[in-house]
Structure 1
Amino acid sequence: MPRFFVDIPLTSPGEVSLSPGAARHVQVLRLQPGDALTLFDGSGLEWQAVVTAMGRSEVRVNLVAATQPRRELDRAVTLAVVMPANDRMDFIVEKATELGAAVLQPLVAERSVLRLAGERADKKRAHWQGVAIAAAEQSGRTVPLRVEPVLPLSAWLAALPAPAADEWRGVLSPRAVAPLAPIAAARASFLSGPEGGLSDAEEDAARARGFAAVTLGPRILRADTAPLAVLAWLALGA
């Protein structure tokens, strides 16, 4: 059954007009009145619906019933990633959504190859949010990954509050000797560096904000592999 995200609140049974993005999907698939589909609005609910009217500028559906499936992680995970070069960020966003991350924070660091700011950064963020929504539609998530505005690593770290009692923070470091270990915290934030890694000063700044330096073992993983490896580890309940 087709499944789409809508950026309007779905609150009660009845007829509604779809938001433009979802309406375009329905039109492209040539759905007809009477066809069934599934909708979600990011609230955690999933609605079964039926197309009632198809038009060039409007698609209307009847919301029949809502359920609240358990497809989100029990732990809220924030993935802070110094953006890799080329189009690898699209891959990270897509796979981070599939693996259940709640938030993705794109960062610029000292050794960054990709440096975004201003209007270009805003356009990229909007693009990545679209990638996250498409991945949520495909993977069955009811709450799409939220992509935050691009920030310098130093500014992001400076704005972080002290770690809460129920929060774990980790940073991948070639200097670390401690491997990842099971955590019991309800929230987890993980910082991953760019090609070439974080500088010593950046790593020290992360430690000062409560990030424990950890290693993934003797092999050097790519900038787009390491954060997803950690996320998979966290998503499996570690």
Structure 2
Amino acid sequence: MRVSRFYQEGDIKVGEELALTQANHRHAVQVLRLKEGDDLILFNGQSGEYAAKVSATDKRNSQVIVEDYDPVNRESSLSISLILANIKPDKMDFAIQKAVELGVSTIQPMYTKRSVIKLKSNRLEKKMQHWQGVIIAACEQSGRTAIPAIKEPCDFDEIFSAYDGTTQISMLPGSENKIQQMKLDESHNGVSIIIGPEGGFSNEEEQLMQSKNVQSVNFGKRILRAETAVVAGITACQMAWGDL
């Protein structure tokens, strides 16, 4: 039986008893039906993970005893930044979830000419909290020990300076280069994967990427949805690097 994992903020020390966060308590008791004596795994995003056991629980709180520390590192040696146009909410959640499962280190939403949704300031904070929740849940499920960063959305023309020093690769259906021709430069500080909205990049945006020496690649004869391109692009980079 698989042991459930929980992201627990703050310091965790072997031998101590600590209270689960209220969110973790509710999930442990109401969803997973954990009870006294059940095992679980904690991680705080700093390093490794901790084996723990439920020591007490009631309707309001759950206490656990931290029994052991495992310095396991399941993070990719390739630093991947996903730069993704802000697409429809359910598709965005799916893309973020799968990107985390596949090992990205940073997620950068962006606004393009054809972006479907542009967040106003009064909605942005709530949306950022929601995305953070999607990321944490994906880390818990996939066994990751670090929490990827989620950045506030930026405009398209800002990404080139913000991610200067990385190998920048765009997924373009009209590119003459196949994904196999993608080149990852080990001297660069990771790779940035740039994926446009449902309607694709505008001609002006494609020209700007070309002027910035962004590598463009395609996935063959078929046109992928933005969220599918996320999975395919990250997988291709990880395979080329040797992480998969």
> TM-score normalised by the shorter chain: which range applies?
0.7 to 0.9
Residue among 18, 21, 38 paired with 1:19:
21
The CA deviation string for residues 96-141 of structure 1, in whole angstroms up to 9 with x for no partner, is 1111111111111101112212121222221122112112111211
Residue among 100, 118, 123 paired with 1:120:
123
- Residue identity over aligned pairs, in percent, reads 32
| Structure 1 residue matching 2:63: 3-state secondary structure | strand
Q: TM-score when scaled to structure 2?
A: 0.86
Report the Cα distance in structure 1 between the residues aligned to 2:59 and 2:74, rounded to whole angstroms. Answer: 34
Asked if 2 retains the 8 angstrom alpha-carbon contact of 1:79 and 1:105, the reply is: yes
Give the aligned partner of residue 150 of structure 1: 153
**Unaligned 5+ runs, structure 2:** none
**More displaced, 52-61 or 83-92?**
52-61
Residue among 46, 58, 64 paired with 1:61:
64
Give the aligned partner of residue 177 of structure 2: 178
One-letter amino acid matched to 1:25: H
CA 1:47–1:215 in structure 2 vs 1: closer, same or farther (change >3 Å)? Answer: same
Report the RMSD for the aligned CA atoms in angstroms.
2.1
Give the aligned partner of residue 36 of structure 1: 39
CA 1:13–1:209 in structure 2 vs 1: closer, same or farther (change >3 Å)? Answer: farther
How far apart are 1:72 and its partner, in Å?
Answer: 1.6
How far apart are 1:190 and its partner, in Å?
Answer: 0.8
Q: TM-score when scaled to structure 1?
A: 0.88
Report the Cα distance in structure 2 between the residues aligned to 1:237 and 1:121, rounded to whole angstroms. Answer: 35
The CA deviation string for residues 5-37 of structure 1, in whole angstroms up to 9 with x for no partner, is 112232444112222222222222332222211
| Structure 2 residue matching 1:225: 3-state secondary structure | helix
One-letter amino acid matched to 2:156: L
One-letter amino acid matched to 1:63: V
Report the Cα distance in structure 1 between the residues aligned to 2:109 and 2:210, rounded to whole angstroms. Answer: 19
